[in-house]
Amino acid sequence: MENQLITKIEERLKVTINPKRYRHTLGVVKASIYLAEKYHEDTMNAKIAALLHDFAKDYTRQQLMECVRTYGVVTDNIIMEAHELLHGKVAASIAKIEFNINNENILNAIENHTTGREGMSKLEKIIYLADFIEEGRNYPGVNELRKIAAEDLDKAVLQALNNTIIYVLSIEKLLHPNTLYARNELLLKMKS
Amino acid sequence: MENQLITKIEERLKVTINPKRYRHTLGVVKASIYLAEKYHEDTMNAKIAALLHDFAKDYTRQQLMECVRTYGVVTDNIIMEAHELLHGKVAASIAKIEFNINNENILNAIENHTTGREGMSKLEKIIYLADFIEEGRNYPGVNELRKIAAEDLDKAVLQALNNTIIYVLSIEKLLHPNTLYARNELLLKMKS
């Protein structure tokens, strides 16, 4: 049953996202399964969430808006301005409506992988982090982040959130408050 | 009448904050008046807000908590954790209750100088910025910020907010969401 779902997602993915992003997605699948095994999370849930996290990443703004209308995607003014943040929410709606996935943990992991949020579950943290450390990624600090990811999930997610905040500031884009809320929450947890 | 108030504040300040902070405060007064003249704001309001902005900065945590209780200061969980953010709110209460200042614009400028906020008035921006660029300040980037402050108030406040976010991340402290909200709002305004 789950294997049928995986096959269906993979077939749809290949004709929906570009080959480079497909390779990235397979990298996120691999990293998510690695993190799920390490931190005792369900590997099948991790695989499904990872496969679908960027499903809508190559959608045009028009396609994203069409999904927002058709699927009743709940969004906010920051996401509507910085619409590169929208693809996670749209992908979660597609996962629910087109692939009949009803596991809220999987849906949340897909939805929140672009910004993080306060109160992330372990699966949400795994997908968020896997997106940054998958083997195809190559940016200053990625090896350090991979090292932390192998030792402490929360510490690694906090580092990824901090990196994101600094990066978003440097490119003069809007930063979603959820990224800050997630960062503050994890920082408090690490210090307590 | 206003001169009597200024004299009263100065006398109280001298026995409340340390000499180094008193010099900083006079620097903020000077920078605030400069910015108020440049950007057509009331210079007396700027002077009063600047004089009082750090009134509670040398208070102990116990003194701050006493003020929170006595004056019914409204605060939040981030400020209560990162209590170095609290002195602005306490100073605004002192301004209102001990110095009978009822001008909401002055009180807001004192209250929000530690974090900024969405919807800052011109006076709030002036006090926020003067705190960063007063002549006693010496940190990497301060001259660049002074240059921007002489040209564009919003652009300079945005730069100061961005600097603050990066600094707070670097020292692993909680960042108040109001700082991010202010930054996102000004960024949107600059880009529109």
CB contact under 8 A, B78 and A184: yes
Please, which pLDDT band fits residue A40 given cuts at 50, 70 and 90? very high
Query: Pick from A81, A175, A187: which is nearest to B174 by CB?
Result: A187
Chain A residues interacting with chain B (CB cutoff of 8 angstroms):
78, 81, 162, 165-166, 169, 172-175, 177, 180-181, 183-184, 187-188, 191
Binned at pLDDT 50, 70 and 90, residue B2 comes out as: confident
Res B180 pLDDT > 80: yes
- Which band of pLDDT confidence, cut at 50, 70 and 90, is reported for residue A191? confident
How many whole angstroms separate alpha carbon A50 and alpha carbon A47? 5
SS3 track for chain A: CHHHHHHHHHHHHHCCCCHHHHHHHHHHHHHHHHHHHHCCCCHHHHHHHHHHCCCCCCCCHHHHHHHHHHHCCCCCHHHHHCHHHCHHHHHHHHHHHCCCCCCHHHHHHHHCCCCCCCCCCHHHHHHHHHHHHCCCCCCCCHHHHHHHHCCCHHHHHHHHHHHHHHHHHHCCCCCCHHHHHHHHHHHHHHHC
Q: pLDDT for B116-162, tens place per residue?
A: 999 999 999 999 999 999 999 999 999 999 999 999 999 999 999 99
Mutation choice for B interface testing from A158, A184, A188, A192 by most B CBs within 10 A: A184
Question: Which CATH number does A2-191 carry?
Answer: 1.10.3210.10
Give the model's confidence band at B24: pLDDT under 50 very low, under 70 low, under 90 confident, else very high.
Answer: very high
Q: Residue A55 above 90 pLDDT?
A: yes
Please state the domain extents for chain A: 2-191
pLDDT bracket for residue B87 (50, 70, 90): very high
Mind listing the pLDDT tens digit for each residue in A106-157? 999 999 999 999 999 999 999 999 999 999 999 999 999 999 999 999 999 9
| pLDDT of B1 above 80 | no
* Model pLDDT, residue B192: 83
Give contacts of B162 with chain A, Cβ < 8 Å.
169
